[in-house]
Structures are given as structure tokens and as C-alpha cells.
Amino acid sequence: MAEKAPRALLIKNGIVFDPLNGIDGERMDIAVLNGRIVEDVPEKEAYVIDASGMMVMPGGVDIHAHIAGSEVNAGRLLRPEDHFKDVEPKTATARSGVGHSVPSTWTTGYRYARMGWTWVSNPSMPPLEARHTHEELDDTPIIDKATYPLLGDCWFVMEFLAAGMIEECAAYVAWMLWATKGYAVKLVNPGGLECWGFGGNVKSIDDVVPYFNITPREIIRGLAKVNHLLDLPHTIHIHTNRLGQPGNWEITVRTMDCVRDIPGTSSTGKRSIHVTHVQFSAFGGDDWASMCSMAAPIARYVNMHDHVTIDMGAVVPGDTTTMTADGPFQYGLYELTGNKWINHDVETETSSGIVPYHYRRKSLVNAVQWAIGLELALLIKDPWKGAFVTTDHPNGAPFTTYPRVIEWLMSVKAREKTLKRVNKRAIRRMVLPSIDREMTFYEIAILTRAGPAKALGLENKGHLGVGADADIAIYAIDPDRIDPGRDHRAVRRAFERAAWTIKEGRVVVKDGQVVSSPRGRTFWVHVELPDWTEEAIRSIGDAWTERYTVSFENYPIPKHYLARPYKVVRKARLEA
């Protein structure tokens, strides 16, 4: 059944959770006209949804999931066994598809929509591979998207920063956002990826990157300043140095602390850094035998400071595929597991790697990892700081496990059930068994939609106020009649299958089935720059020709290349 797009829509009597507008479980109507939320619409002219006894939230917002681009596609090629495990049959409205941890593009869009998610940020795009990324994003239906170019190990960035040319660096980053149609500045193991080109890595944020005479600290601080100068909607978005190594929690705290004095932007306010999938960066111990959770000191740091947001990178036991731009980390994981793997170098920009991985409850390390993700969310007092719900899809688990993560966050009983089944020696290495916090639906609405939308500077997403995009999820659960601590399974089931998902005012999912499949938009940031910057950008042309296999003129993606681009305009704070 193909659902028509009604001009006016009225959702009646739902129990609404809309934290950005301070609405905590109030029974109310939501009116929609022409894809936006409005004060009211005449009932007789509207398509009416009776949401009595159901929970209404803004559409889910995923701040970090690898869903498109060359590394995702290479992951699909590397894992044929991942394809037959999960097959999406063709329906009247949906295409067929395959893939459990690295699903095909269409399947990705359907599965997010079925859970009530309507926005996904694709977090690590090698700039050189931006075309491929946008091609796949265009083929990922329903949801809106954005993608973050990897800039932390870019040669031009490191050279500008090492020379103290911060304004020129800002101009270059703005040009890269325009050229790749990107949304935010992504750093992965800053400096470490370049070291990996010589078989090395960095061990602290003060190690010097060979040939570039710059340290990770200088790269992180430099790009945070650039972010401020460009007044970008999001902060810098960072995957820390030493990710996935025992004892890495200290470098994570140092990374957060090193930008404490750097101002944010008109969207981010005091915030100057987002540290992503912190589960992988919160390990204690000296080696794998002594590895333990250090979620507590990281949460303490976040509780005491206002310039940081984080997301979980939760681990859910099961089979998945790891993929990051962190070449040395992926190589280390290959050595650890002996699994098949890919390592790749992207010219002057970044590295990458892919390794299949199975998280086992009975593995000491994996059990501790499972606990850390949850501990981070449960120990941070203010959910607007995080830890936002992510699994670093597919690194910690496929995104389809979010309902399971929500279940654990809302129920001590659900956590105890899993704790009984994990490696016994792991229990002493975590704090999870001593935490009795059970999150409310209001807090879950912050961690899964309002919080990440705010962190991303998305003015019309993550809330249901007048003027917001009508991206709405309705779940068949009555928050007044259910005790999530006890009935945690019902909570999980409700989040697995939205009763209704509405995208830009159009019904896209009904009773967990995709009923229409419109194309989502791709948001990108265009920064207005003073004239002198044009010359600065052109001046790198000669060096470019020496370094790249692609010509300078052929590098930028034209705007019309994207199927449904949405340009976010900012104005740089640069001297005229």
C-alpha cells in the first residue's frame, strides 16, 4: 500500500516526550502542515492518527553511524557471509536488500525508519571518496543525512597549523566542507594515521608527527579554533588517539581537557568538542589481562565540565564488522583476532581498515566493553552531555540493536539478567552492577533525539515545536501504564517496531512496515568567506598537483551531484 503524503496531519491524544520544549509525557495533539509542525490544523482537512495510549517522540537522531561510502562498501565485499544472515524481502513499497552488520543502502534507510529514526550522521568520509559516499547516501531512503570529512591527518591541515596559519587553515577547511559537501570536522586518531604511514603511531597527545612537526594536541586545538572561526553548527567530532588500547582512558580525558579554553560557536555555545564512541576510549589496565572499565573518571570529567558532549559506542554481544579510519587500530585488531582484514591508505588524507568481529559475553574484555557503554550513559548526570545512544554502527554492534541498549538503560532487571550470563571475572572490572539508575522515557528521548540534534546544531530536528520538521515517531506503548524497569521487553519491542514513523509530514512506517519510501535530504555546510581566502586556496594548487592523483579542479563535488542537498549557511569570523 502506497501511503499518500497528506498536506495536513493531526496526531491526536498521544503522550508526548519533547525535551527541547520541556514536554515530559503530556497528553496532547501534534499538528502538521506541509511537512512542518504547526500550531493547529482543521481536523476535517487532516489525515488523523489516533495516538491514544501511545508515546510520541521526535524522530530519532543518530550522531554517528557508518552507513555509506567506500569503507562501508568494502565491508560489504569483505563479508559475503553477512549478506545471507539478514535478507529484506521485496514488498510493494520497499526494495529487497541484504546485510546484517553492513546492510545495503535501501535496507539501511528502511531499518532506521522502522525504529522511528529519521536522521543519521555518517561520521568518517575520506574527502577523496566523497562522491561515492554521496552516491550511497542518496540511495539510502527516507532518513535525512549528513557526512563528516576526515580532516585531522590531512597534510594541508597539518602544514597550515604547524606554520601557525590558523586563518588560512580555516579557509581550507571551509573549502573542504564545500568541496566534499560535508557537515562537520572529523578527527580520527589525529596525527596517528600519518605516523601509521611509516608503520608507527602516537602514544600521547604530545608526540611529534614525523615530517610534519606537529603534535595531536596542536591538531586538536587548531581544528577546534578553526571550528570556532567558521562558526560551524557542530563542534569538532573526535575519535581519540590510542582508541581500543588498555589504559587509554587518560588520553581521552587529556583530549577533552586540551580544548577547555576554546570557545564554541553560535550553535554550540560553550561546547567545543564531541568525543565519539567513548566506550572504545575508556579502558583501564596495562594490558588485555588487566583491562578494566574506566568509565567512571571519564563520566566525572564530563559531569564537571560544560564544553564536552559524548556518545556511547555501545557494544552489544554478537557478530559484527569493525571499520574505522584508524588504520593502526584496525591492524592491531587483525593481529589480535587473526580474522580477514583490509587496510587502506587514502593518499594525503587518511587511512582506514576493516576487520570482522564477534563480541562474546564470555570474553572478559568484551563483557567489560558491554558494561562501559552503559556505564557512560548512566554515570553522566546531565543527559544533554551524553552519552548519546550509538553503537558506532557497525563497530560495537549494528544500529538495529538500539532498542536493546534502551532496554538496558531503563531497567536494572534487564542489566542483571545479562550480568548473570557474562564472564564472571569481568564483573570485578566494571561498576555497572552497583548502578541503580533507571532512565526515564524523557531521558531516553534526550539521548536518542533531542541531545544529538542539539549537539549537531540542527534547529529544526529533534523536537516537536512549531516550525520543526515533521519527523515524528509514535511507539505502541503507554508510558502511564508501563513500568519500564519491570516490563523492559515491552519497551524493547516498541522501539524495534514503530507504530508510525512520519518523515516531513508523510507517513513512511505503519505498524513496523515501510509504507512509503521518499528520498531524504543531505545537509551540508557552506561557510561564507572573505575574498582573500580564494587566493589562499588557489595557492595550494601546485602542491596539490604534486601530491594527489586527482586534479584540483576535478576534486570538488558540484552541488547538483546530490539528489536532495540542503545547504546550511554560516559566516566565518575571519578578517575581511
Give, as ranges, the residues between 137 and 176 that touch Zn ion (CB under 5 A): none
113 CB contacts (<8 Å, ≥6 apart)? Answer: 141, 142, 143, 498, 501, 503, 508, 509, 514
Closest contact distance (angstroms) between CB of 131 and Zn ion is 21
Interaction between residue 319 and Zn ion (CB under 5 A): no
Interaction between residue 326 and Zn ion (CB under 5 A): no
DSSP state of 19: G
| Residue span binding Zn ion (CB under 5 A) among the ranges 18-26, 132-140, 388-396, 439-447 | 388-396
- Nearer to Zn ion (CB atom), residue 239 or residue 429: 239
Closest contact distance (angstroms) between CB of 313 and Zn ion is 7
Closest contact distance (angstroms) between CB of 151 and Zn ion is 15
| Residue span binding Zn ion (CB under 5 A) among the ranges 7-15, 199-207, 290-298, 387-395 | 387-395
| Residue span binding Zn ion (CB under 5 A) among the ranges 129-137, 348-356, 384-392, 551-559 | 384-392
| Spatial distance between the Cα atoms of 559 and 114, rounded to a whole number of angstroms | 30
| Spatial distance between the Cα atoms of 118 and 111, rounded to a whole number of angstroms | 10
- Nearer to Zn ion (CB atom), residue 268 or residue 391: 391
Q: For 19-54, where are the E strands, in sequence order? A: 23-33, 36-38, 47-50
Closest contact distance (angstroms) between CB of 280 and Zn ion is 9
The dihedrals phi and psi of 9, each to the nearest 5 degrees, come to -140, 140
- Nearer to Zn ion (CB atom), residue 392 or residue 443: 392
State whether the Cα torsion 328-329-335-341 is positive or negative. Answer: negative
Burial category of 305 from C-beta neighbours within 10 Å (exposed 0-12, middle 13-18, buried 19 and up)? middle
Closest contact distance (angstroms) between CB of 64 and Zn ion is 6
- 302 C-beta neighbours (distance < 10 Å), count: 25
- Nearer to Zn ion (CB atom), residue 99 or residue 123: 123
Give, as ranges, the residues between 49 and 108 that touch Zn ion (CB under 5 A): none
Q: Which amino acid is it at 404?
A: R
Residue nearest to Zn ion (CB): 392
- Nearer to Zn ion (CB atom), residue 221 or residue 393: 393
| Spatial distance between the Cα atoms of 466 and 450, rounded to a whole number of angstroms | 15
Closest contact distance (angstroms) between CB of 170 and Zn ion is 25
Closest contact distance (angstroms) between CB of 62 and Zn ion is 11
Residue whose C-alpha is closest to residue 418's, from 428, 436, 405, 403: 405
- Nearer to Zn ion (CB atom), residue 392 or residue 407: 392
Q: Is 142 helix (H, G, I), strand (E, B) or coil?
A: coil
Closest contact distance (angstroms) between CB of 279 and Zn ion is 11
- Nearer to Zn ion (CB atom), residue 18 or residue 392: 392
In this structure, what C-alpha cell is assigned to residue 423? 564472564
Interaction between residue 392 and Zn ion (CB under 5 A): yes
Closest contact distance (angstroms) between CB of 153 and Zn ion is 15
- Nearer to Zn ion (CB atom), residue 19 or residue 452: 452
Burial category of 1 from C-beta neighbours within 10 Å (exposed 0-12, middle 13-18, buried 19 and up)? exposed
How many angstroms separate the Cα of 467 from the Cα of each of 12, 471, 481, 567? Answer: 18, 11, 31, 18
Residues touching Zn ion, count (CB under 5 A): 1
Closest contact distance (angstroms) between CB of 359 and Zn ion is 16
Cis peptide bond N-terminal to 558, omega within 30: no
| Residue span binding Zn ion (CB under 5 A) among the ranges 3-11, 178-186, 218-226, 389-397 | 389-397
Closest contact distance (angstroms) between CB of 307 and Zn ion is 21
Are residues 508 and 113 in contact, defined by beta-carbon separation less than 8 angstroms? yes
- Nearer to Zn ion (CB atom), residue 144 or residue 392: 392
- Nearer to Zn ion (CB atom), residue 392 or residue 504: 392
| Residue span binding Zn ion (CB under 5 A) among the ranges 212-220, 385-393, 444-452, 558-566 | 385-393
CA angle 394, 78, 133 (to 5 degrees): 60
226 CB contacts (<8 Å, ≥6 apart)? Answer: 166, 169, 170, 173, 185
- Nearer to Zn ion (CB atom), residue 136 or residue 392: 392
DSSP state of 420: T
Which residues sit at the interface with Zn ion, rule CB under 5 A? 392
